[in-house]
A = this chain, B = another copy of it.
Amino acid sequence: MSDPDDRFRVIYRLAAGDEAEARARAKAVAIENTVEVPEDVIPAGYIADIVAGRVEDVVPEAPGFWSAEIGYHIDAVGSDLPQFLNVVLGNASIFRGVKAMGLVPNAAVRSRFPGARFGAAGLRARVGRSGGYLCPVLKPQGATIAELARLAHDTARAGADIIKEDHGLADQDSAPFSDRVPALADAVAHANAARATAGETARALYFAHVTGPAHTVHDRAFAAKDAGADGILMIPGLLGFDAMHQLARDPSFGLPIMAHPAHLGPYVLSAETGYAHGLLFGTLMRLAGADISVFPNHGGRFGFSRHECDAIAHACADTASPGRPILPSPGGGMSPERLPEMRRQYGDDAVYLLGGSILGAGDRLGAVVAELRAALA
């Protein structure tokens, strides 16, 4: 019990009027996320001593808010990621005034959830260059496979590093998954062949969006790999974090994974519920196996602050977090004009998304991508 590595810790921000209330709330969270019974009926021994969450520390944070550290034993988790998240913020997600701010993993968490297979260093090796990755997005949904393939080819040929499908490309009739992915993989392969012929050593990676009926997602990911995709995009907020985690863990899959933030907004938008930006889009994405974590940059269509974006980038790179450092991927309405400023903020180990803003380039698409490529170099 005195082993400091005995438990992993979760830091929560609690709304409370005074320390006594804060301690009572912390105790309520510790119980709610584990044994979920009134304190006076928790069985003594193993359940009270090991399974139940334990309040480790409660300190004032700001007027009306307290920072509480709660320790959880891995026995409350077992080895499944859904149950890990259930312990971190399952029922307590329904409490008002309880926000998970950080995670301090222990050896048990690190061994069960080893994180990304590739991470920042692995992606660098796959692309074949360093220095910030340019990532055009294939869209809009409703476009034909031929139109998407042309966009994929032309952006790859012009020097893009990662060619990512829009997360709205699912399995619609306009571009069904089983026909689309081989065609786009082929388009990017042709562009890479031309780049190699021209003496380039770096190549573009094509990331297919994998979604669909829950029990088929695993097979679809392998189908994308068989069709020639270099990586996949997934939406953990719709498929569950473990859909991504299982693929990251599977050595026979072995492709990098990009996580998209769709449907996850409410977890970070309130100061009093959900997760801190860095915890969700950095630490938990890492732990669940993402190699790249997409989020909306400040100043675009969404309301994240510069500080919140810095927290995400820091959590992606932090060497104290579980698993390998991964690549933050700021996007969400970024214009080519903002790229130099973004580069200064996020640096080399980041994937710079360019979506709708480059679609207006028309016949100049290749030239625009090449200019952006040069701006990142």
Contact = CB atoms under 8 A, between A and B. Distances in A.
8 contacts: A28-B301, A37-B355, A78-B173, A81-B213, A94-B332, A214-B214, A215-B246, A238-B242
Interface in A65-85: 75-83, 85
A166 interface: yes
Interface in A224-271: 235, 237-243, 245-246, 261-267, 269-270
A186 interface: no
For the complex of A and B, 7 pairs with smallest distance between CB atoms: A51-B142, A37-B356, A94-B265, A93-B265, A35-B140, A83-B170, A47-B142
Interface of A: 28, 32, 34-38, 40-43, 46-47, 50-52, 75-83, 85-87, 89-96, 139-143, 166-168, 170-174, 211-215, 217-218, 235, 237-243, 245-246, 261-267, 269-270, 272-274, 296, 301-303, 332, 355-357, 359-360
A166 B31 CA distance: 13
B77 A172 contact: yes
How many copies the complex holds: the figure is 2
A154 to B, nearest CB: 16
Nearest to A95: B302
A269 B269 contact: no
B139 A35 contact: yes
Contact of A38 (B218, B274, B357): B357
Contact of A94 (B140, B143, B269): B269
